[in-house]
Amino acid sequence: MKTKERILVTSNDLFNRNGVQTITTNHIAKALKMSPGNLYFHYRNKEEILRELFKRMCTETYDVWKRKSSSYVNPLEFIDANFEVYWKYRFFHREMYALRRKDPALAKMWKMHILKMMGLMNILCKDWSQKGFIVSLGSEAEKSYVSESLLAMSTAYLQFFESAERAPSKTTIERGKKHVARMLYPYVIGQTKDSFDNYFKS
C-alpha cells in the first residue's frame, strides 16, 4: 500500500474511533510510525486529508447510485448499500456541521454534494415508480418533500443518535436503515411493500 493510501486509511480509522477534533497530524503520524515531516510531504495539514477523504466518500456514494438500475432488486438493498458507505465514513455524518464551519473549502464541497444528491434522489424516485416499487409521487412538491426527508434523515441520523449513545455501532446503523425505510414505507407498493413488512418484523 502506497504511503498516501496508508495515511488516508489510518486517518479515516482514527477519525471514526476518536473524532476529528481530538486527532492531530501528530497522532496520525505516530499511528503510522512515520515522522510528521514525512506526513507533511504528502498532505500539508489535516484539512487536506479530510478533503481527500470526503472526495472518496462522494465517489463511493455515487458508485452505489450508478449501480441502482442493474443490481438492486428493491429499495431495501439500495438503502443497505448506502448505509455501508455511511458507516465507513461515519465521522463525516457525525461532525460535518462543525467541519464545514471550520473549512470553507470543505463546506463548498459538502454543498455541491448535497445538491447533486438531491438531483439523484429525484431521478431515483422516478426510476422506482417506473419499476413498480413505489407509487407515482405526482407533483414536484411531493417529490421534493420525499427526497429532502430521506436525504436529511440519511445524512443527520448519526449525529442525532450519538447525542443519546456513547458511540455509534452497527446497531446504530441498523436503526438508521429502519428509520429511512419507515419514511419510505407509505409510498411502497406490491411485492416491495411485502419485503418492507418482512424487514420490519426481522
What's the CATH number where 86 sits? 1.10.357.10
Q: What is the mean pLDDT of the chain?
A: 89
Which pLDDT score is estimated for 165? 58
What value does the mean pLDDT take over residues 7-23?
A: 96
199, 145 contact by CB (below 8 A): no
Long-range contacts from 98-107, C-beta under 8 angstroms, 24+ separation: 98/20, 98/21, 99/20, 99/50, 102/47, 103/47, 103/50, 103/51, 105/47, 105/51, 106/47, 106/50, 106/51, 106/54
Residue 169 scores a pLDDT above 80: no
4 and 100 inside one domain: no
Q: Per the structure, how many domains does the chain have?
A: 2
Co-location of 30 and 110 in the same domain:
no
> Is 80 exceeded by the pLDDT of residue 16?
yes
- The string of pLDDT tens digits covering residues 129-141 is 888 999 988 888 8
Question: pLDDT tens digits for 30-41?
Answer: 999 999 999 999
* Pair 40, 136 in one domain: no
Residues 1 and 95 in one domain: no
Same domain, 196 and 126: yes
C-alpha span between 30 and 70 (Å, rounded): 44
Tell me the mean pLDDT in the region 3-10.
Answer: 97
* CB neighbourhood size of 34 (10 A): 17
Q: Which of 10-19, 151-160, 166-175, 183-192 has the lowest mean pLDDT?
A: 166-175
Same structural domain, 77 and 36: no
Are residues 80 and 27 part of one domain?
Answer: no
Question: Taking residues 37-51, what's their average pLDDT?
Answer: 96
Same domain, 92 and 147: yes
Question: Which residues form the domain of 4?
Answer: 1-44
